[in-house]
Amino acid sequence: MERAYLQEEHDIFRRSLRKFLEKEAYPNFDQWEKEQLVPRDFWKKAGEQGFLCPWVDGKYGGFNADFGYSVVINEEFERVGTGMVGFGLHNDIAMPYIASYGTEVQKKRWLPGAITGDLVSAIAMTEPGAGSDLAAIKTTAIKDGEAYILNGEKTFITNGSAADLVVVVCKTNPQADPPHRGISLLVVEADTLGFKKGKKLDKVGQHSNDTCELIFEDARVPAGNLLGEAGKGFYYLMENLQQERLMVAIQSMTSAEVMLELTIDYVKQREAFGRSISQFQNTQFKLAEMKTEIQIGRTFVDRLIEDHVAGKDVVTEVSMAKWWTTDLAKKVAGECMQLHGGYGYMEEYEIARRYRDVAVSSIYAGSNEIMKVIIGRNMGL
């Protein structure tokens, strides 16, 4: 189907990106999965080719690309593997906070490196005792002269080990009532005294997605690293979560499409009882059902992308898309593995990795249960 927000220039960009990934990513991805890290030299190569933060203003080194380019980048990186999500987080989740709320000094300091791959970014929201309930975070940043003294612990941080700078969600006013009014955003650089990166987390899937704990023990962060106004962090997060959850929906739809493609190829080749299993009615029905649901999801997500580009408030609809598409991707993963039979349970087949990788999508960026709470609240319930 035609996608109105993608033009010929986006198609040219996609072909260029796909050629780059076929040379630099696909042949190395299995090794990155084993090493649990995408190497820095790949980040720099991606930056050299213009695949990092292309939306940034030209005066900082970007080329003012529209959101369609972000869609293309996230889709193509997802096709390599879900473990590449760190690039989408850097491009379209973490760095937009600096572009949106940073001072001119902050933008000049951090945006150019984020474009070249010399700076890898992360955002630290989740804590061992606080996930979707951001108002419950315990990390504090207390003003001390021209600095904030940061204490706390963050977990499940994508790009955590590699990050050169982290947007940290913290409380600059722990006594605020209600608590969310005390939340602020601080940019913490990797060489900050008192900032330590914990062990890499041993995840079920997305192994090349570098994920770790971050620890702050009396870390002294310059007051000039505050993003926007103190106490406004919660509102900044709410403004940007629409895009974050839309990115998850885009990745989920791409993942589902890839899994279906893999399975169609497999069932055409695999034979049972003297014919390919693609000729069995059950196989055809399963594939037809998945194809239909994927098309429905793609149509909905594409419409939301158009609305997002137009600057519309589609928080409710994006919440719907986030839970529905991630649940769909998990369903497709299970059905596709089943159609692979015993081989689907073997690591040498891509569907096994896809099955593992997609499991967490209904949890991160706000659990699907929280998405339904948001929808219900916006229904006036």
Please name every residue paired with 227 in a beta bridge, in sequence order, or none if there are none: 185
**CB distance 17 to 87 below 8 Å:** no
SS3 276: strand
CA distances from 118 to 37, 124, 157, 165, 293 (A): 16, 20, 19, 11, 41
Give the residue numbers marked as catalytic: 244
Q: Scanning the structure block, which residue is given the tokens 């997305």?
A: 206
**CB distance 75 to 254 below 8 Å:** yes
Amino acid, single-letter form, for residue 280 = F
**CB distance 190 to 168 below 8 Å:** no
Give CA–CA dist 294/327, Å, rounded: 11
Is the peptide bond between 96 and the residue preceding it cis, with omega within 30 degrees of 0? no
Hey, what are 183's tokens? Answer: 């939340």
> Closest by alpha carbon to 321, among 235, 259, 242, 381?
242
Give CA–CA dist 270/159, Å, rounded: 39
Give CA–CA dist 216/154, Å, rounded: 9
The two most distant CA atoms of the chain are separated, in Å, by: 79
Give CA–CA dist 122/93, Å, rounded: 9
Contacts of 222 (CB under 8 A, 6+ apart): 146, 147, 148
